[in-house]
Amino acid sequence: MDKLEKQAPGMAAYTICESVLLALIEQGVLDPETVTEALEDAAEAHRQQAKNVASPDRHVDAADLIEETVKTLLAAEKEA
């Protein structure tokens, strides 16, 4: 299995989660501020964990991706 094949499940999971969050916000099931706070907490947890491991890159990358998701959700909210 090559590197791209190994990354495909994670990419799919990310896309599904982002889409579900957007749909739940658009339908009024979830409050955008609550979702944003939860994601910001998750990003911060990864940043803190990065300080406690020998190879922090994956945690930093995860935090960056979560923060990009927040930006995407906020931009979508403004367009709605």
Query: The whole model's pTM is what?
Result: 0.85
Name the percent of the chain lying above pLDDT 90. Answer: 80
pLDDT digits (tens, 9 = 90+) for 14-48: 999 999 999 999 999 999 999 999 999 999 999 99
C-alpha 76/C-alpha 22 separation (Å) is 8
Q: Are 25 and 77 contacting, i.e. CB atoms less than 8 angstroms apart? A: yes
pLDDT number for residue 4: 65
pLDDT at 64 exceeding the cut of 70: yes
